[in-house]
Structure 1
Amino acid sequence: MAIIGRFIGVDRYQDPAIRDLTGARNDALALWALFKDTLPIESKILTGLNATISNIQKALEEGLINASNNDTVIIFYSGHGSQDHRITGFDTEVTKLESTTLPMSTISELFKKSKAKNILCILDCCFSGGAAAKVLEDGPISRDIGNPLELLGGQGRVILAASNFDQPSYELPTTGHGVLTKAIIDILQTWEHDTVNLMTAMDSIMAAVRLEAARIGVQQTPVLLNYVTGGLTIPRLTAGKEYFKAFPQRKGVKITHEIDDLVQYNLPPELLKEWKDSYVKGLNDLQLEAINEFRILDGDSALVIAPTSSGKTFVGELASANVIGQGKKSVFLFPYKALVNEKYDQFTDLYQDKLGYRVIRCTGDYLDQNKEFIQGKYDIALFTYEMFLNLSISISTTLNQIGLVVLDEAQFITDPTRGITIELLLTNLITARQRGINPQLIVLSAVIGNSNYFEDWLGCKKLLTTKRPVPLIEGVMGRNGYFKYLNEKGEVETEQLIPSYHIVQRTQKPSQQDVIVPLVKSLVQQGEKVIIFRNQKGPAEGCAAYLAADLGLPGAEDESKNLPKHNSSSTSSKLKRCFAGGTAFHNSNLSKEERKIVERAFRDPNSKIRALAATTTVAAGINTPANTVILAEQEFVGDDGRPFTIAEYKNMAGRAGRVGFNEKGRAIILADGKFDPNFLFNKYVLGTPEPLASSFDTADLDTWIIKLLVQVKDVHKDNLVNLLANTYGGYVANKINPDWEKNMRHDISELFQEMLRLGILEEENGIVHLTILGKACGESVLSFRSVMRLVQLLKDYHKATITADDLMAIVQALPESDELPTPMFRKGTSESKRVREVAQRFGHEIIQLLQRFVNGDEFKYYARCKRASILFDWTKGISTSDIEDTFKSPNPYFGNISYSNIRAFADFTRFQLRSVHKIATIIFPGAMLDEKTFEDLLKSLETGVPSDCFDLLMPSLEMSREEYLALSNAGIKTKEALYNAPGELLNSLLEVSTVEMILHDKDDSIERISA
C-alpha cells in the first residue's frame, strides 16, 4: 500500500484582474511538509509560477490514474475557486475562464477513473462571492445551483471543503493560512492519540473553522462528504526536518552577528548576499537583539526606540523579508512623500530589480499603484501615513492580506497636525484584532523620553537603545569660539574650536553668519562635510550663498551639469551659484528634481558639495549624512517661536556620523546671545527627550469621534466613549485618571445630539450609524469644523453645475487652508488687486464665497484670492517665473511668492480636494462635474501640466515641469508628436539627459510593437 500526495497552493495570479492571496502557498507547503515528515509518501507540490492549470491537471492525472487499488491518494488545493465551479491556476485569465481553469467535472472524471482505494480531497477555496473570499468575483456565476462537491463523491472518497458551495471561505493572513487549513494543521498535530481517525478528526476540524469564522465576524461552514467504510486513519502529524525548513520561525532558532546565519530562517541566499555586500560588518547589536530576544522573525511585534543611524530601519526590512518568504505581504509607512520616494528607489533597486519582489508605492500621486495594492499584486508596499489610513479605512478588506506593518518615525504621533493620522491608523490596526486581523507590527521611533505606555497600547514589547554605531559628540559653541561638549565617555570637556579673532562682524549687526563662516571654513579644510540647520527657507538659502562666496571651495561642475537647465523659478539660479562655490541648500523651494540632485551629491563622499544649509525637514529621515551638524537656531519661526524640543534637537544632531560614511559625528549648537551657552548645554546636550504623548485634544473631540466611527460598523450610543478609550490618548488617560471615561461621557453626549441635528449621525434603537454624508466626512482628511464650513459654502453656491476649478477655489476658504503660510505685503492696498485677479479667473460667484468666514480680516480674504489665482495659473501651465512675477510684492523682502509656496498650495489643495469633491457629490448629486474633469484637475495640481499635455506624462519618461511646458509651447503635446519630433528641436527644448531618455523610450516602444 502506498500513499500518494498532490499539494497545490496558488497564491499568485498572472492576470492583474485577479486578487493575489497570502496563505495559499503556505497552506500547501505546510501540509506537504507535515505529511512528508510523518509518513512515507510519494508526493508533489505545486506553488507559485509552477501552479499552472496544465501542471495542476498533469499532477492530478499522475497521482490518481497511476494509483493501485491498495493506495490512498491525498489531494489538497488552496486558491481561488470560481463562481461557475472551477479551480484556478497561476495562468488563469478572467476573460478566458473556460480555457484557463480546471472544472470540477474534469476532476470528477479523474476520481472515477482512479483505482485508488481511498481518496482524501481537501479544497480550501470556495465557489461563491464575498469580500476577501477565495473566489473570482469577476467570473461568471453558474446557472446550475447544484453542489459541485457532490460530483467528487463515491465509495472510498472523502471530500472536505472549506465552505459550502454557496458560501465564501476566508484566509487568516496573520497566521499565514486559510481558515480551514489552519484548523487541519492544528488539530492533526495535537490529536490526543498517536493514530488519527480522519472521520473523527473532521468533526473537530469543522467545529474549529466555524468558531474561528465567528470570531472574525464572518460565517464559514465546512462541508464533509464521506463515503469511506470503516474509516480512514493516519499517524498524528509531526513537524520535522521539512516543516522547519519551510517555517524556521516556528522552531525558535537563534543566530549570531553573521548575516549568513539568517539562512536558518529560509531567507533566499541571493538576498543574504546582497545584505552582506551592504552590511559588511554584519548585524549590529540592535538587530541581533530584535531577532533573538524580541523574536521579530518569529512574527512577534515590537516597538523599537533607537537613535538615528542605529540601524532600526533594517529591523523592519528583516521582518519584511521574513513575511514575504512566508507568502505574506509587508507595508512600510512614512511621514513624508519624499521619504517614501527615497525608500522606493532603494527598495526597487535591491528587492525588485535584483531579487524579483514586487515593490509599489502610494503617496497620493497620479502614478500611485492603488489598484495593485487593492488586488494584492505586491510584496512590499510603501505609503505615507495619510494614504494608508485612507485606503485601509475605505477598503477595509485590504488589511486581510497584510502580514506586516512597519511604521517609521512613530514619534510623530505627538505632532499636533500629523499625530491624529498615526493614532487613527494604529487604532484601526489594534481594533481589527477583534476580527482576527492581526498583522505583525514593527513600530520604529527616534529617541524619545518615557514611552508612556505606548508599547502596552500597541500590545508588544519595547526594544530601547541609546547606543549609536557611530559615536556622536554633542556640545555648544559661543561667539568666543569655545566648544563645550560631552565626549565619548560622557565627560564634559572644552575646546577652542576656532580662534576668537576669526569671529568678526560681517554685516551691519552681529549675526550667526559671523560664526558660521569661520567655523564651516575650518571644518571643510579638515575634509569634513557639514550640514547647517536653519529655521527658515530664506536663511538656509542665504547661508549657502555666503558660504559659497567666502569658503573658496572648488566649484561642483559635474553636479551642476545635472541641474535642470529649464527650471525657471528664482530659486534655481541661486542653487546654481551655490554649486559653483561648493555648497548647496535643501528646502521646499527646490523642485523634486533639484532635491534629488542635492541629496545625491551631498551623500557622495567624492562630491565637491561640502556644506549643505537646510531647513529642519532634512532631519526627518532623508539620507544626508555629515561629519558635523551645526544648529544655528534653537526655535521655529512659523510656530510662534516655539523652541525645539529635545527630541527634535536629537533628531537633527543625529544626521552627523553615519555608518559607512564616517566613523564619528559631531553636533554643534550655536549660542547666539539669546541664551546662555550653559543653559543650552544643560537643556539639549544633557537633557532627556520629552515623553511620548497623544495629540488628542478635547477641542477636536468632534473630529476624533467622526473619524473613529468610520472604523466600526455600528456602536451603541452609550458606548461612544469606548471609541476614544481604544485610542492611545484614551488608553493613557484611563491609566492616569480612572474617572476619565465618566468625565468624557457628558461631552460626547452633547456632541452626539449636535451631530444628529446636523445630519452626520442617525440613531436606530440606540445603535448609532454615520449617514452617507457623515461617512464621507469621516473618511475625509478634513476636520469636523472644516466639513461644516464646506457644507455651508456649497449650499451657498448657486451655479447650475459645480466646476472643478470652482471646487479648487472653494478649498481656499476652509480653516486648514487659512492656516497655510501665504506671503502677503500687509502695508497699503497692493494686495487688494487679488480680488480682481480671482474675478477674472473664476467669476463673481467665487468672490462671494471667498469673503465668507473671514471675521473682518481683509488680508485673510486677499490671501484666499491669491492662492486661488496662483493655482489657476499653475494648472493652466503658466511658467513658475511668470507666476512669481505676477504675484510679487512691491517690497522685495516681504510678501513674494516662491516655488515652495506654489508647490505647498498645490499639494495641500490636491490633498483636500478629493474629500471636498466626495462631499459635494452628496450635497448636489445632480450638479456635479464629470469624474474625468475632476481627475484631470488633480493631475494638473500635482504636475503643473495642463490636461492637453497629459499624454506626455509617462512613468518611463520623467521630465521637469518646465520641460513639459517647453514641449507644449512648441506644439508637442502627445507621445506620438514627441517621438516624431526632430532631434535638433528636442535638443533646443530639453536637457541632454532627457533627450537620451526619449530616444531610449522610443526604441523600447518600437521593440514592443514589433514583438
Structure 2
Amino acid sequence: MLRAAFFGIDRHRDPYVGDLTGAARDATALWAIMSDSIDGLDAQLITNEDATLEAMRAALDATLASADETDVVILGFAGHGTPDHRLVLHDTDVDNLPGTTFGMDELAQRFRDTRARAVILLLDCCFSGGAPARVLDVGLVPRNAIAFPLVDVAGQGRILFAASSAQQEALEDPQTRHGLFTKAVIDTLLAADAPLGVLELVDRVTRLVGANAGRFGYEQSPTMFGQTQGDFMLPPGRVGERYRAAFPEYNALQTTGDIRELSQVGIPQEAIDAWHERFPAGLNALQIAAVNERGVLGGNSLMVIAPTSAGKTFVGELAALKAIADGRKAVFLLPYKALVNEKFEDFSALYGERLGLRIARCSGDWQDQVGEVLRGKYDIAFFTYEKFLSLSVSSSHILNQIGLVVLDEAQFITEPGRGMVVELLLTSLVSARQRGVCPQLITLSAVIGHANSFDRWLDCALLQTDERPVPLVEGVMDRTGAFTKMGPNGAETIQMIERHRVQQRRTRPSSQDVIVPLVQHLVEAGEKVIVFRNARGPASGCAEYLANELGLEPALDVLDALPEGDPSAMSDSLRRALAGGVAFHNGDLTRDERVAVERGFRSLNGNIKVLVATSTVAAGVNTPASTVIIAETDFPGRERIPYTVAQYKNMAGRAGRLGFEAEGKSILLAETPMERNQLFRRYVQGQPEAITSSFNPNQPGTWVIRLLAQVRDVPREAVIDLIANTYGGYLAAIQNPAWRDHMADSLERLLNRMIADGLVDEEGDSLRLTMLGRACGESPLSLESAMRLVELLGRIDPTDASLENLLVLVECLPERDEDYTPQSGKNGEPRWQQEASGRFGFNIGRSLAHRAESDVAFYARCKRALIVSDWIAGEPTTDIEARYSSNAFSRVGHGDIRGYADGSRFLLDSALRISAIVLGRAEDQDAAALLMTRLDLGLPADALAISALAFPLTRGEILALYHAGHRNQDAIALLNPDQLTAIIGRRGDALHRTFQPIIAGAA
C-alpha cells in the first residue's frame, strides 16, 4: 500500500515569520500529480493554516506509524527551517522555536521506528530568492539550511532527497512559482513514458535543477541520502482531475462577459459575488478583450490605453484577484499619496473586510506597512512610484514575492520631474527578467497618444480604444456664448448661452463673467459640474463667487463631515463655499477636507452641485461630473507653460457619469472667436502626445548611479547595457545605430569622476558602488544633490550635524530649491535670514547659503526651514499662514506648509544615511522615526502619544487635548463626554465611547 503526506506552508501565524510564495503550491502540485498517477494512493495534503505542529505529527502517525512491512510512504515538505535543523510550521512562535517547530531529530526517530518497507522524503526547503534580514534576525534561515546534516534521517530503505547541497541556496522560479526542485520532480514524472526508479528520478532531477539554476546565474545541486533494497518504481506522471482542479489557471477561459464565468479560473466566489453586485451588466467590451484576446487572466502582460471611465482599472483588479488565487501577490503603483490612501480604503472595505485579504500601503508616511511588505505579509499593496522604486532597489527580494504589478497613470513617464522614477522602476522590472523574476505587468493610461514602442520595450501586449461607455462631447466656448463642438461631420457651432447673460462683474473683464452664467445654465438643467482652474487661489475664489451667485442650498452633510480644530484660511473659504452648495478641491485643503468634498460630490443625494478643482482631481480621483469646464489652458508662473493635449484630455475625460447621462460635455473657455477656433484645433482636434522617455543623454549621472544601485557589480564595459535597458536607451538605439559608441565615451568620463568622488570602486574590470555610492544610488536624490550634501556635511562642524539641524540643511538641496516659495519683492525677504540664524544657530543659518543661486534663493531656504520648524512644533496652521504670508500675492497656505514638510521628510531619510557614512556615525533610529512622524502629523514630540489612540484624531483635536494638558490615554479616558466636547468639538462623545471598554476592563 502507498501512503503519502505533503506539507507546504506559505503563510505563518507569527507576524515575524516572512511569507513564502511557492511552498503551498509545491506541496499541492506533488499531491495532485501523484494522486492522479498512482491508483489507490492514500495521500494527505496539508497547507498553510492547516499545517500546524499538531497536524504534522498526526499526519506522520497516519503514515509512518501506521505503516507495515508492505507499505511505501512518500512525504514532501516545503517551508522554512531554523539553524538547528527544525521545520517551521504555520503556528511556529519565534519566541519559542524549540517548542513550536518540528525537529529533524524527531523525524529521524520516526524513520527508524516505522515498519514501512520504504520511505521517500522530498525536501524542497528553499527560501525563494533569499532570506529577508528580518527573518534572519529572529533565527530563521533559507530553507536549504535545514537539509544538513541529514544523514541521520536516512538509512536502508529510507531515502531523503533534498533540494540543494550544503552552502547552496535553493531557488524558486518566479514564472512557474515552484521551487526549481519541485518543478524538476514534476517535469520528470510527467515526461516519463514508463515506470521510473528512484535513482533514475534523482539523476534526472539533479541534472534538470542544475541546468535551470544555471539559467539564472546560480548553482544548485540536489542531494540524496540513504539507500534502497532494490529500486522502488514510480509510475509515469499524468495531469488528471485533481491537478486541473488545483491549478485552474491552466484552463483557458473565453468569457461572454458574465462575471460569474470567472469562477472557472479559480477566482474566489466571494470576489465574483462582490463584482456581480457592482457590475450586474457584466464585463464591458474592453474587459472582455483583455480576457479573451490578450489573456490577462493567463498571466500575460498588458498595456491598456483607454478613456476615463472605460473600465481599465477593473482590468487590473481582475488580474490582481487571479494572481492572489494563484498564490501570488499584487501591487498597484500610483502617482500620489492621496490616490494610495483612497485605493487602500476602497480595497480594504471590499477585499479586506469581505474577502479577508491583507491590504497594505506604502506611500512614505507614518501609516505605512513597510515591515509587513518586506516580510510578505500582504496580498495587495499600494505604493507611490517613489516608494516602490526605493524598496525594490534596497530590498530586491520583494520582487520575488510579486506576481502582478499594475502601474496606473503610465503617462507620468513623460513628466520632467517624475518620469525618471517611473522609467527606473520599469527598468528594474525589465532587468529582473534576466534573473528569472517576471511578474505580470499591466500599465494603464487614459491619455497616451502614440505608444512609441513603449509596449515593445515592456514586452506587453497593447490594448487601445477610444470608446467610452458615456460618449464625450468636446468643444470651446468664447465670451459671446458661442460653442464650437466636435460633431459627427466635424466642427459645429451653436449658441450655448445668450449673449446678454455674459456680464462684466469686476472692473475688468474676467473669466468670472462667463463662468457664472454658464454654470448657472448647467445647474438649472440638473447637471453636476466640475470647473478646472490652474491654481489654488483661483479655485477657492471661483467657488466662493459661484456660491454667492448661484443661490444653491447649503451642503450641510459635507459641512458636518469637515474636521474641527486647526483650521487654515482655506478651511474658512471652503465653509463659505459649501454654505452656497459649491465646493473646491485643491492642495491647500487637508486630507480630511478633501475626502469630505470628494464623498459629498460623488453622493447621489448630496447638495454639492459644483466642484471647482485644480488639475490633481483629473489624475484618478473618483469625481465624475456631467459637464467639465476648463477655464485656462496654461499654468501660472513667470513662464506660463501651456497645457499639453494629454493634460487637457485628462481633465475633459472627467465628464460623463456612467448610468446617469447619455453623454458628457467638456467646455474649454476662450476669450474671442479667433481664440475659440485656435483652441478647438489645438486641444479638441488634437491627439495626446506620444509617450517619450525623460532620459537626458547630456546628464546621465543620476541615471547611472541609480542603475548601478540595482546590481551588485558589473563589468565596466557593461555599464552601457544598463543604460540600454532603459526606455530612453531602447529608443535611442532604434533611432541612432551609433548611439552606443557616443554614449560609451560619455560614460567613461562619468565613471572616472564617480571613482574619484568615492562613489564607485573598481576591482579589475568590475565596478561596484561604495557604501556612499549605494546610499546615493538608493536615494531619490539626484547625483548633483547627493554630492552637494556630501560637500555641505564636510564644511560644517560635526557637532552641528544633529538630527534637527540636518532637517534644516536639507533645504540646501536642489530638489528643495525647485519648490516654489512665495516671497514679496524682487529681492526676496531678508528678515528670514536673521530669524533662521537666531533659531538654528549662526553656523547652521550661514550654511543655508551654501551654493544658493541668489540672495532670494537663500532667503527662501530660511523661510521654508522656519515653516517646517513651526509645523513640527505644533503651531496652529492659521498662525503659520499669517506669519509667513507677506501679502495677498505672496501668500503661504496650508498646501505650502504641508508640501514643505512632506518634501523635507522625503529627502531626510536619504540625508540621514549619507550623513552617517560621511561623518562616520549613525543617528538614533528611534529619534529619526520620531522626527519622521512629527513631520507627517505636525506635532511636538510629547503630543505623539495622543495620536496613537485607537480613535483617529485630527491635528486640531490632538493639539486641543495637548494644550488642555491631557497628554496620554489615561488622562483622556478620565474625561466625561461634555468635557471632551468642550475641548475637541462635536466628536467628543464618540471619543469618549472608545474608552468605555478600556475603563470596563481596568475595573
TM-score relative to the length of structure 1: 0.96
The amino acid of 2:908's aligned partner reads L
How far apart are residue 205 of structure 1 and its match? 1.0
How far apart are residue 51 of structure 1 and its match? 1.0
How far apart are residue 214 of structure 1 and its match? 3.0
Task: Find the partner of 2:979 among 966, 985, 988.
Answer: 985
Between 623-632 and 295-304, report the one with greater CA deviation: 295-304
Change (3 A) 1:722 1:497: same
Aligned length: 1000
The amino acid of 2:872's aligned partner reads T
Alignment of 1:838-853 (within 5 A): 838-853=836-851
How far apart are residue 157 of structure 1 and its match? 2.6
Q: What does the per-residue CA deviation read over 1:445-471, in whole Å, with 9 as the maximum and x for residues that have no partner?
A: 223111111111111211111111221
Task: Find the partner of 2:968 among 974, 979, 996.
Answer: 974
How far apart are residue 975 of structure 1 and its match? 2.1
How far apart are residue 550 of structure 1 and its match? 0.4
Distance of 1:846 and 1:81 partners within structure 2: 51
Distance of 2:267 and 2:473 partners within structure 1: 38
Query: Counterpart in 2 of 1:957?
Result: 951
Query: Counterpart in 2 of 1:946?
Result: 940
Structure 1 residue 362 corresponds to structure 2 residue 362: yes
Secondary structure of 1:97 counterpart: helix
Query: Counterpart in 2 of 1:155?
Result: 156
Is the CA contact (8 Å cut-off) linking 1:449 and 1:689 kept in structure 2? yes
How far apart are residue 137 of structure 1 and its match? 5.9
Distance of 2:524 and 2:697 partners within structure 1: 54
Q: What does the per-residue CA deviation read over 1:744-780, in whole Å, with 9 as the maximum and x for residues that have no partner?
A: 1121111112212211122121211111111111111
Query: Counterpart in 2 of 1:98?
Result: 98
Q: What does the per-residue CA deviation read over 1:49-100, in whole Å, with 9 as the maximum and x for residues that have no partner?
A: 1111101110121022223332322211111122111112110011111111
Is the CA contact (8 Å cut-off) linking 1:82 and 1:127 kept in structure 2? no
Change (3 A) 1:490 1:602: farther
Query: Counterpart in 1 of 2:720?
Result: 721
Between 126-135 and 895-904, report the one with greater CA deviation: 126-135
How far apart are residue 852 of structure 1 and its match? 2.1
Query: Counterpart in 2 of 1:617?
Result: 616
Between 735-744 and 799-808, report the one with greater CA deviation: 799-808
Secondary structure of 2:331 counterpart: strand
How far apart are residue 727 of structure 1 and its match? 0.3
Task: Find the partner of 1:918 among 913, 920, 925.
Answer: 913
Q: What does the per-residue CA deviation read over 1:900-954, in whole Å, with 9 as the maximum and x for residues that have no partner?
A: 110111111110111111111111124x643333222221111101111111122
Change (3 A) 1:140 1:623: closer
Is the CA contact (8 Å cut-off) linking 1:83 and 1:137 kept in structure 2? no
Query: Counterpart in 1 of 2:879?
Result: 882
Distance of 1:779 and 1:140 partners within structure 2: 27
Task: Find the partner of 1:834 among 832, 857, 867.
Answer: 832
How far apart are residue 501 of structure 1 and its match? 1.3
Distance of 2:459 and 2:68 partners within structure 1: 54
Distance of 1:577 and 1:129 partners within structure 2: 57
Alignment of 1:144-223 (within 5 A): 147-164=148-165, 166-191=167-192, 193-223=193-223
Is the CA contact (8 Å cut-off) linking 2:330 and 2:405 kept in structure 1? yes
Distance of 1:86 and 1:979 partners within structure 2: 47
Distance of 1:682 and 1:1007 partners within structure 2: 70
How far apart are residue 880 of structure 1 and its match? 0.8
Distance of 1:477 and 1:579 partners within structure 2: 27
Query: Counterpart in 2 of 1:795?
Result: 794
Query: Counterpart in 2 of 1:399?
Result: 399
Distance of 2:156 and 2:737 partners within structure 1: 65
Is the CA contact (8 Å cut-off) linking 1:333 and 1:407 kept in structure 2? yes
Query: Counterpart in 1 of 2:80?
Result: 80
Is the CA contact (8 Å cut-off) linking 1:630 and 1:667 kept in structure 2? yes
Query: Counterpart in 1 of 2:991?
Result: 998
How far apart are residue 674 of structure 1 and its match? 9.5
The amino acid of 1:252's aligned partner reads A
Is the CA contact (8 Å cut-off) linking 1:126 and 1:133 kept in structure 2? no
Alignment of 1:798-813 (within 5 A): 798-813=797-812
Between 511-520 and 712-721, report the one with greater CA deviation: 712-721
Q: What does the per-residue CA deviation read over 1:305-340, in whole Å, with 9 as the maximum and x for residues that have no partner?
A: 111111111111111111111111111110100000
Secondary structure of 1:812 counterpart: helix
Is the CA contact (8 Å cut-off) linking 1:82 and 1:126 kept in structure 2? no
Is the CA contact (8 Å cut-off) linking 1:129 and 1:137 kept in structure 2? no
Query: Counterpart in 2 of 1:754?
Result: 753
Structure 1 residue 646 corresponds to structure 2 residue 645: yes
Distance of 2:286 and 2:611 partners within structure 1: 30
Unaligned residue ranges in structure 2 (runs of 5+): none
Query: Counterpart in 2 of 1:677?
Result: 676
Query: Counterpart in 2 of 1:631?
Result: 630
Distance of 1:655 and 1:102 partners within structure 2: 58
Change (3 A) 1:205 1:593: same
Change (3 A) 1:169 1:744: same
Query: Counterpart in 2 of 1:782?
Result: 781
The amino acid of 1:169's aligned partner reads A
How far apart are residue 235 of structure 1 and its match? 2.5
Change (3 A) 1:702 1:956: same
Task: Find the partner of 1:936 among 916, 919, 930.
Answer: 930
Change (3 A) 1:414 1:490: farther
Distance of 1:920 and 1:1005 partners within structure 2: 44
Q: What does the per-residue CA deviation read over 1:558-593, in whole Å, with 9 as the maximum and x for residues that have no partner?
A: 221111231321111100000000001100000111
Is the CA contact (8 Å cut-off) linking 1:329 and 1:378 kept in structure 2? yes
Distance of 2:914 and 2:134 partners within structure 1: 34
Distance of 1:483 and 1:674 partners within structure 2: 10
How far apart are residue 996 of structure 1 and its match? 4.2
Distance of 2:858 and 2:741 partners within structure 1: 43
Unaligned residue ranges in structure 1 (runs of 5+): none
Q: What does the per-residue CA deviation read over 1:825-862, in whole Å, with 9 as the maximum and x for residues that have no partner?
A: 01577x2211121122101112211122224x221111
Query: Counterpart in 1 of 2:579?
Result: 580
Query: Counterpart in 2 of 1:415?
Result: 415
Is the CA contact (8 Å cut-off) linking 1:80 and 1:88 kept in structure 2? yes
Query: Counterpart in 1 of 2:558?
Result: 559
Secondary structure of 1:7 counterpart: strand
Is the CA contact (8 Å cut-off) linking 1:76 and 1:123 kept in structure 2? yes
The amino acid of 1:767's aligned partner reads S
How far apart are residue 232 of structure 1 and its match? 2.2
Query: Counterpart in 1 of 2:741?
Result: 742
Secondary structure of 1:676 counterpart: helix
Is the CA contact (8 Å cut-off) linking 1:128 and 1:167 kept in structure 2? no
Change (3 A) 1:674 1:206: farther
Secondary structure of 2:10 counterpart: coil
Structure 1 residue 608 corresponds to structure 2 residue 603: no
Alignment of 1:337-348 (within 5 A): 337-348=337-348
Distance of 2:147 and 2:467 partners within structure 1: 66
Distance of 1:681 and 1:72 partners within structure 2: 80
Give me the identity figure in percent: 45
Q: What does the per-residue CA deviation read over 1:222-253, in whole Å, with 9 as the maximum and x for residues that have no partner?
A: 11124223322222211122212221221222
Query: Counterpart in 2 of 1:772?
Result: 771
Distance of 1:132 and 1:781 partners within structure 2: 23
Change (3 A) 1:758 1:12: same
Secondary structure of 2:584 counterpart: strand
Alignment of 1:326-725 (within 5 A): 326-487=326-487, 489=488, 491-638=490-637, 640-660=639-659, 662-673=661-672, 676-725=675-724
Task: Find the partner of 1:873 among 859, 870, 873.
Answer: 870
Secondary structure of 1:476 counterpart: strand
Is the CA contact (8 Å cut-off) linking 1:627 and 1:662 kept in structure 2? yes
TM-score relative to the length of structure 2: 0.97
Distance of 2:506 and 2:600 partners within structure 1: 30
